[in-house]
Homo-oligomer: A and B are copies of this chain.
Amino acid sequence: MSAAFYQKEVKFFVAVDCIILGFNDKELNVLLYKRKFEPMKGEWSLMGGFVRSGESINDAASRVLTECTGIHDLFMEQVGAYGDVTRDLGERVVSVAYYALVNLNDFNTDLLKEYNAQWTRVSDLPNLIFDHTLMIKDTLARLKRKAATRPVGFNLLPDKFTLPQLQNLYEAIYQTPLDKRNFRKKLNSMDILEKLDEKDKKSSKRGAFYYTFNKEKYDKLLEDGFYFSL
């Protein structure tokens, strides 16, 4: 890196902003934090960070995600680049948004404190700095499409989950109620879940059977031209 081909051009700060989504109690939540530095110190914001020189944008997003969740190899996908001239009030910054899906429960609460972070229902967002509200809106639209055609929703649940939980999740993603019997019929026909003997009794007296997502089965089906759809 030295040839200096592009000397006449302008350079920009490039940042990543992470929309970290979790699911709890029938609602999607996003991890927000109170900014610890200027500009806009003390305001609500997404987790973010600047891209460093030896680092790809993807690497930067991974790094930020690992830093503030303590989890490696999260499911993560780029949403897009945000580049309005005045989007950052400090200086000109181009930001690339990524969303990540995590299981809200296996979350380190110490880490939350350390970062002034807080889970917030996406239906109940405070004012956010810059264009972060737009980034979240774009993310939710993208997730809606994605979850309908790829089994990414399972990243928002524990390894063992119940069908009512899964249905609540999809109702939250689609923002619409689903028919219980049709939902289960569809899942059943795809044959990508394993039913366990164990039951979850936290949310009912009768208890709901736990299931797991069988990735091996799913991958095998994919090869045969199968398409996930919910």
- Give this chain's copy count: 2
> A198: shortest Cβ distance to chain B, in Å?
39
Interface SS majority for chain A = loop
- Answer yes or no: A39 CB below 8 A from chain B CBs: yes
Q: A39-58, CB under 8 A of B: which get 1 and which 0? A: 10000000000111111111
Given B51, B83, B96, which contacts A51 in the complex, CB threshold below 8 Å?
A: B83
Known: A10-B52, A39-B5, A51-B10. A96 touches B81 (CB 8 A): yes
- Answer yes or no: A91 CB below 8 A from chain B CBs: yes
Given B12, B84, B96, which contacts A11 in the complex, CB threshold below 8 Å?
A: B12
Known: A3-B39, A5-B91, A51-B10. A84 touches B56 (CB 8 A): yes
CB-based contact A50/B91 at 8 Å:
no
- Answer yes or no: A90 CB below 8 A from chain B CBs: yes
